[in-house]
Chains A and B, each alone.
Chain A
Amino acid sequence: DADVTQTPRNRITKTGKRIMLECSQTKGHDRMYWYRQDPGLGLRLIYYSFDVKDINKGEISDGYSVSRQAQAKFSLSLESAIPNQTALYFCATSGGLAYEQFFGPGTRLTVL
């Protein structure tokens, strides 16, 4: 089984709809991250959490919110989706002092 899972894998929605993307991990890591990937821009950090009570904004948090329901679960919400939020979204985890992050398979979101 995959260590970092994301649901759904693909989602098409309409402008103005509320969307939630979910991430679960079995690695036992405290740190979790949400990124979006756009062509030519690499991955950009949306939000990150170092433990259940610690939530921080990343580079591009506007229009997004997150919830850390448990050590293993970190959800990303788009309160009112807009077309320029069409992108590939990745969840990642890291543990302790290690720099390496482990990525989920991604969620492809299309906002019409």
Chain B
Amino acid sequence: AQSVTQLDSHVSVSEGTPVLLRCNYSSSYSPSLFWYVQHPNKGLQLLLKYTSAATLVKGINGFEAEFKKSETSFHLTKPSAHMSDAAEYFCVVSDLGAGNMLTFGGGTRLMVKP
């Protein structure tokens, strides 16, 4: 069975400082991993995805994530936070064992202080 744990339910950073949102996964197969972002009163937007190619994945708006198989992690980072990054972020896993269905983490709410 696949599962995802987002290690922080809330993260607060100051504008201009680095962002780190942590995600650990469990999967019996070679997984695909995603980060989605949800801004208030909006649907979910794909930030980036890992599907067995390069382990360092670059996404939109300056975000990137690194797939580390030995640590079963897929942490999301950004060098410098912007006020517009304030949102909820979801780490998501998909593998063949689950018919490529998505399993979501509980979400991390990112707050950005001026």
Stretch at the interface among B58-66, B79-87, B99-107: B99-107
B104 adjacent to A101 (CB under 8 Å): no
A65 to B51, CA, bound (A): 32
B31 nearest in chain A by CB position: A99
A-B contact count (CB 8 A): 46
Contact A42 B100 (CB under 8 A): no
For chain B, which range describes its interface: under 10, 10 to 19, 20 to 34, or 35 or more residues? 20 to 34
| Contact residues of B: prevailing secondary structure | strand
Asked if B94 CB lies within 8 Å of chain A CBs, one says yes
Q: State whether the Cβ of A70 lies closer than 8 Å to any Cβ in chain B.
A: no
Q: With a CB–CB cut-off of 8 A, which chain B residues contact A43?
A: 44, 90, 102, 104
B9 located at the interface, meaning its Cβ lies under 8 Å from any Cβ of chain A in the complex: yes
Residues of A within 8 A of B (CB): 4, 40-45, 48, 58, 90, 92, 99-106
